[in-house]
């Protein structure tokens, strides 16, 4: 279920009552665990088996990893965990994408291969809970933290419903200790939690879904050309929509957890007020950025092996970060663009040897560059070109300075002003509207 | 450091919300706004799930808006003892729904298909978008969505302001009629009184709408607007042959499983009816459809008792005429088409 549904409101009221009854702490934790499974099963009951599998495998492999001293056996255990977690993720999230690419490849080299289209359902939140369990086993491998003492606490850490399907991505030390001693929200925490939940719902339901999505969808689904003003409105609306949608949902998660007495990490910190791209990624989906930094960028070598490797590591991290957001080449290109932006920023910083903020971008430029690419890149090529022209250049009616080969044709086409309406959604791992 | 009074702030906010929402609800009721359900994919999916009821106890209706306005579901149930399951959708082509039912091996019931030629004999993707979205939603509906629907039903049955089509923020903003820049396309907005929706998905016009010729003109202007958008000639030649073949195949699938299919041409009047006769000559479309599928059909123009309705806005019956149409439809079905309604005696 999702936070912005009647089902969740009923569910949450019952959980709040149950959690505040005079019951033992272990009973309360069992209640929370069962509630979390119910929360997940309300989307598609069979997929709860995946969650169990992931939990059980990582609990036992994690303990074994921590205790194992033999280097080879330790690596073997880590490989088991990685195959288990990433294998599931690859199959469910990237299975169709990989097969499509394989088919294109073999057809391109002359084989006539056309398999049936697989009907793979993407389990809600698999990207989130896979990263949650992965960081546990990697931490165990590196002995960065102690193994979780009880299966109940570990299951609750993985499954705890506020963060289960859309983050924030939590690390074991952030949440597991909170399960070890009785917790109940104080009156202040409850009030603040409800406030955050209301604020999050307002951001998601009113601002993102009601006020901004219509404009964004109209522009990004337009079949004809448009004026630059309209293109900019669409881009800004989409930038607002993705922020309010995602940050609103994260705010709900933090608020819900707080109502129960648990503290989840912040996930957004005024990202559109950031100065530069690296600053942006420190403020946008913070828990994912931190995960990619700690479990991908740094293990790849980070900035420790010279400039060339640093740039490569940055690009690899952003490419995989892009692919995490969605199984299509548009997301890979989106990741590559961000890798490129970070390169440019880093080059400037390296040249200037600045210790202060690298590039001061205007908010409009920033949201323009950061917001639209995944949607923008989904469009047909001529449409991309037209959208690009009207998006990046001022209205051609007043300026002729940007006119180059082929541009007059696009200008003429853009003057037709034919609009059509439609709907679209950005790719997401969450369960959609229910 | 001073701690904010969170508890008091919450209570204060709650009081303001309850007061404002109550005031809004009271104002709407005092201005004679009847309850109207959100006729979205959730309500449609709820009805779609009912099509598996036994053939002798239920009839499924698909089609466009005329089926929703013209069929009085209460009268139908009273006369037949049968459960009418309304799956028709405004402004849409019913063929995706027919195809969905044809593919569904569990569906073996009675099916009445409303034919509004301009929408039915059309390949325009825009006419199929709504049905396809609802069909997809029905097949992917989660347990949480089903439960949310039940809760929503209880709330929507009691609160007028929850009518999303008329009183959501976006709907209210649209109604401000802020002039658009030249060339910007905007979908026209129907008067609320034109289409009140019941929980069974029957549409009806309010008495205020029926009595107000200015409101009729607003709607006829919208029909004129849609007509001006559609510059394509009526479907003919190989595309029409292909469409007919698809319908024939789908109907056969249902019949082969023991299902019953009947086509119905619901009334229209005035310029609408004239235009439909010119654009879609009966021999080329309606007669051919019946001949090809071998299904029985009921065309309103063939029955004097229902041939001369005057639709307020040329296309849909007012509630009183919908009762007459339904009574006659049931009569024709029983006497002429041989349909039997075993539940009839129980109901009467």
ipTM for the assembly: 0.82
Burial grade of A8 (CB within 10 A; 0-12, 13-18, 19 or more): buried
DSSP letter for A204, please.
I
Instruction: Test A420 with B185 for CB contact under 8 angstroms.
Output: yes
Domain ranges of chain A: 6-184
Give every CB contact of residue B282 below 8 A, 6+ residues apart in sequence: B299
Residue A259: band (very low, low, confident or very high) from pLDDT cuts 50, 70, 90: very high
How far is residue A170 from each of residues A138, A174, A176, A251, A285, measured CA to CA in Å? 14, 6, 10, 14, 12
pLDDT surpassing 60 at residue A428: no
The answer to whether the CB of A62 falls within 8 A of the CB of A132 is no
pLDDT surpassing 70 at residue B279: yes
pLDDT surpassing 80 at residue A107: yes
The answer to whether the CB of A124 falls within 8 A of the CB of A95 is no
Distance, in Å, from the CA atom of B90 to the CA atom of A332, rounded to the nearest integer, reads 41
Asked if the C-beta of B144 comes within 8 angstroms of chain A's C-beta atoms, the answer is yes
Residue A369: band (very low, low, confident or very high) from pLDDT cuts 50, 70, 90: very low
Per-residue model confidence (pLDDT) at position A124:
77
Catalytic residue among A19, A163, A285, A325: A325
Distance, in Å, from the CA atom of B201 to the CA atom of B47, rounded to the nearest integer, reads 9
Residue B3: band (very low, low, confident or very high) from pLDDT cuts 50, 70, 90: low
Question: Which residue in A187, A417, A431 is closest to B183 by CB distance?
Answer: A417
**Residue B139 — φ and ψ, nearest 5°?**
-75, -20
pLDDT surpassing 80 at residue A28: yes
Half-sphere exposure of A266 (CA within 13 A, CB side): 7
The residues with which B261 forms a beta bridge, in sequence order, are B111
Mind listing the pLDDT tens digit for each residue in B308-342? Answer: 899 999 999 999 999 999 999 999 999 988 888 88
A134-160 average pLDDT score: 90
Burial grade of A91 (CB within 10 A; 0-12, 13-18, 19 or more): middle
Instruction: Test A43 with B9 for CB contact under 8 angstroms.
Output: no
Burial grade of A181 (CB within 10 A; 0-12, 13-18, 19 or more): exposed
The answer to whether the CB of A156 falls within 8 A of the CB of A51 is no
Query: Which range, of A139-153, A393-407, B181-195, averages the lowest pLDDT?
Result: A393-407
Instruction: Identify from B142, B147, B164, B229 which residue to disrupt to test chain A contact, counting A C-beta atoms within 10 A and taking the largest count.
Output: B142
Helix (H) or strand (E) holding B326, with range, is helix B319-335
Q: How far is B148 from chain A (nearest CA, A)?
A: 5
Closest CA to A333 of A294, A365, A377, A289: A377
Per-residue model confidence (pLDDT) at position B156:
92
Asked if the C-beta of A419 comes within 8 angstroms of chain B's C-beta atoms, the answer is yes
**Residue B205 — φ and ψ, nearest 5°?**
-90, 145
Q: Which residues of B touch A191 (CB under 8 A)?
A: 6-7, 9-10
Per-residue model confidence (pLDDT) at position B68:
94
Q: Which residues of A touch B155 (CB under 8 A)?
A: 6
Closest CA to B64 of B83, B27, B90: B90
Instruction: Test A431 with B142 for CB contact under 8 angstroms.
Output: yes
Closest CA to A259 of A193, A341, A170: A193
Half-sphere exposure of A140 (CA within 13 A, CB side): 28
Q: Whats the size of chain B, residue-wise? A: 348
pLDDT surpassing 60 at residue A117: yes
User: A389: which 2 tokens?
Assistant: 């022209």
Helix (H) or strand (E) holding A344, with range, is helix A329-352
Asked if the C-beta of B148 comes within 8 angstroms of chain A's C-beta atoms, the answer is yes
DSSP letter for B202, please.
-
Residue A430: band (very low, low, confident or very high) from pLDDT cuts 50, 70, 90: very low
B22-38 average pLDDT score: 91
Per-residue model confidence (pLDDT) at position B345:
61
3-state DSSP assignment of residue B281: coil
Cis ω on the peptide bond leading into residue A168 (within 30° of 0)? yes
B68-80 average pLDDT score: 93
3-state DSSP assignment of residue B298: strand
Per-residue model confidence (pLDDT) at position A383:
52
Q: How far is A216 from chain B (nearest CA, A)?
A: 14
**Known catalytic membership, residue A325:** yes
- Per DSSP bridges, beta strands B83-86 and B203-204 are unpaired
Is the model more confident about A283 or about A423?
Answer: A283
Is the model more confident about A298 or about B348?
Answer: A298
Per-residue model confidence (pLDDT) at position A368:
45
Residues 189-218 of A with CB under 8 A from B: 191-192, 194-195, 198, 206, 210-211, 214
pLDDT surpassing 50 at residue A367: no
Mean pLDDT, all residues of chain B: 90
Burial grade of B134 (CB within 10 A; 0-12, 13-18, 19 or more): buried
Per-residue model confidence (pLDDT) at position A89:
85
Q: Would you tell me the crossing angle of helices A172-180 and A151-159 to the nearest 10 degrees?
A: 130
Asked if the C-beta of B3 comes within 8 angstroms of chain A's C-beta atoms, the answer is yes
Distance, in Å, from the CA atom of A28 to the CA atom of A260, rounded to the nearest integer, reads 11
Distance, in Å, from the CA atom of B109 to the CA atom of B254, rounded to the nearest integer, reads 8
3-state DSSP assignment of residue A426: coil
User: B266: which 2 tokens?
Assistant: 């619901």
The answer to whether the CB of A2 falls within 8 A of the CB of A12 is no
Instruction: Test B170 with A42 for CB contact under 8 angstroms.
Output: no
Q: How far is A18 from chain B (nearest CA, A)?
A: 20
DSSP letter for B263, please.
E
pLDDT surpassing 90 at residue B51: yes
3-state DSSP assignment of residue A412: helix
What would you report as the CA-atom Rg of chain A, rounded to the nearest whole angstrom? 24
Measured distance between the N- and C-terminal CA atoms of chain B, rounded to whole angstroms: 75
Residue A303: band (very low, low, confident or very high) from pLDDT cuts 50, 70, 90: confident
B76-99 average pLDDT score: 93
User: B288: which 2 tokens?
Assistant: 């051919």
pLDDT surpassing 70 at residue B66: yes
Asked if the C-beta of A2 comes within 8 angstroms of chain B's C-beta atoms, the answer is yes
Quickly count: other Cβ atoms within 10 Å of residue B97's Cβ: 27
Per-residue model confidence (pLDDT) at position B86:
96
Instruction: Test B144 with A434 for CB contact under 8 angstroms.
Output: yes
Q: Where on the phi/psi map is residue A6: left (φ > 0), alpha (ψ -120 to 50), or beta?
A: alpha
Per-residue model confidence (pLDDT) at position A422:
29
Quickly count: other Cβ atoms within 10 Å of residue A240's Cβ: 21
Asked if the C-beta of A421 comes within 8 angstroms of chain B's C-beta atoms, the answer is yes
- Per DSSP bridges, beta strands B83-86 and B110-114 are unpaired
Quickly count: other Cβ atoms within 10 Å of residue A121's Cβ: 10
User: A348: which 2 tokens?
Assistant: 């400037």
Q: How far is A238 from chain B (nearest CA, A)?
A: 17
pLDDT surpassing 70 at residue A412: no
Residue B60: band (very low, low, confident or very high) from pLDDT cuts 50, 70, 90: very high
Number of alpha helices (DSSP H) and beta strands (DSSP E) in chain A: 19, 0
Q: Which residues of B touch A258 (CB under 8 A)?
A: none
Q: Which residue matches tokens 């940055």?
A: A314
């Amino acid at each position: 279920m999702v936070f912005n549904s009647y089902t969740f409101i009923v569910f949450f009221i019952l959980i709040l009552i149950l959690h505040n009854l005079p019951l033992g702490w272990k009973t309360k934790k069992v209640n929370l665990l069962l509630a979390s499974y119910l929360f997940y099963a309300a989307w598609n009951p069979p997929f709860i088996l995946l969650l169990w599998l992931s939990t059980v495998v990582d609990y036992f492999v994690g303990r074994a990893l921590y205790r194992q001293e033999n280097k080879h056996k330790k690596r073997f255990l880590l490989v088991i965990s990685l195959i288990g977690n990433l294998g599931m993720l690859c199959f469910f999230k990237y299975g169709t994408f990989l097969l499509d690419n394989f088919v294109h490849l073999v057809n391109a080299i002359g084989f006539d291969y056309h398999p049936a289209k697989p009907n793979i359902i993407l389990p809600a939140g698999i990207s989130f809970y896979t990263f949650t369990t992965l960081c546990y086993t990697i931490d165990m491998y590196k002995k960065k933290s102690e193994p979780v003492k009880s299966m109940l606490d570990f299951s609750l850490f993985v499954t705890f419903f506020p963060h289960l399907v859309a983050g924030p991505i939590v690390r074991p030390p952030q949440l597991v200790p909170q399960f070890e001693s009785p917790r109940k929200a104080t009156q202040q925490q409850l009030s603040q939690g409800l406030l955050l939940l209301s604020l999050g719902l307002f951001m998601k339901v009113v601002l993102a879904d009601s006020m901004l999505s219509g404009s964004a969808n109209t522009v990004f689904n337009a079949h004809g050309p448009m004026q630059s003003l309209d293109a900019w409105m669409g881009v800004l609306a989409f930038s607002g929509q993705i922020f309010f949608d995602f940050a609103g949902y994260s705010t709900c998660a933090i608020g819900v957890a707080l109502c129960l007495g648990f503290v989840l990490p912040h996930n957004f910190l005024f990202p559109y007020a950031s100065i530069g791209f690296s600053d942006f990624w420190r403020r946008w989906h913070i828990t994912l950025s931190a995960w990619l930094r700690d479990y991908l960028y740094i293990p790849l070598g980070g900035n420790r092996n010279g400039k060339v490797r640093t740039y490569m590591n940055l690009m690899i991290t952003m490419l995989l970060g892009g692919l995490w957001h969605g199984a299509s080449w548009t997301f890979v290109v989106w990741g590559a663009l961000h890798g490129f932006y970070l390169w440019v920023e880093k080059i400037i910083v390296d040249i200037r040897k600045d210790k202060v903020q690298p590039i001061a971008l205007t908010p409009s430029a920033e949201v323009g560059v950061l917001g639209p690419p995944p949607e923008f890149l989904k469009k047909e090529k001529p449409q991309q070109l037209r959208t690009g022209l009207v998006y990046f250049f001022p209205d051609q009616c007043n300026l002729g300075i940007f006119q180059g080969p082929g541009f007059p044709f696009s200008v003429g086409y853009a003057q037709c002003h034919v609009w059509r309406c439609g709907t679209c959604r950005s790719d997401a791992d969450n369960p959609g509207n229910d | 450091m001073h701690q904010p009074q969170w508890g008091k702030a919450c209570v204060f906010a709650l009081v303001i919300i309850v007061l404002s929402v109550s005031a809004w609800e009271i104002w709407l009721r005092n201005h004679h706004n009847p309850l109207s359900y959100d006729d979205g994919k959730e309500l449609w999916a709820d009805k779609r799930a009912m099509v598996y009821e036994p053939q002798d106890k239920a009839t499924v209706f698909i089609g466009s808006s005329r089926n929703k306005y013209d069929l009085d579901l209460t009268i139908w149930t009273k006369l037949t003892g049968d459960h009418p399951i309304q799956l028709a959708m405004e402004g849409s082509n019913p063929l995706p729904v027919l195809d969905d039912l044809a593919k569904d091996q569990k569906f073996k019931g009675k099916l009445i298909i409303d034919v509004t030629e301009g929408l039915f004999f059309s390949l325009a993707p825009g006419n199929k978008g709504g049905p396809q979205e609802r069909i997809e939603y029905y097949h992917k509906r989660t347990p949480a969505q089903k439960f949310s629907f039940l809760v929503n039903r209880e709330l929507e049955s009691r609160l007028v302001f929850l009518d999303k089509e008329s009183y959501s923020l976006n709907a209210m903003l649209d109604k401000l009629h802020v002039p658009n820049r030249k060339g910007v396309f905007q979908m026209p907005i129907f008067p609320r009184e034109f289409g009140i929706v019941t929980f069974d998905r029957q549409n009806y016009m309010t008495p205020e709408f029926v009595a107000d010729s200015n409101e009729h003109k607003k709607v006829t202007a919208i029909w004129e607007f849609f007509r001006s958008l559609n510059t394509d000639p009526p479907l003919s030649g190989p595309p029409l042959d292909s469409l007919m073949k698809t319908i024939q195949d789908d109907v056969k699938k249902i019949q082969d499983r023991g299902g019953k299919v009947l086509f119905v041409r619901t009334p229209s009047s005035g310029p609408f009816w004239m235009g439909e006769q010119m654009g879609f000559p009966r021999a080329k479309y309606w007669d051919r459809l019946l001949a090809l599928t071998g299904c029985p059909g009921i065309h309103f123009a063939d029955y004097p008792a229902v041939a001369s309705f005057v639709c307020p806005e040329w296309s849909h019956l007012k509630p009183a005429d919908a009762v007459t149409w339904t009574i006659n439809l049931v009569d024709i079905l029983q006497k002429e088409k041989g349909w039997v309604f075993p539940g009839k005696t129980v109901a009467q």
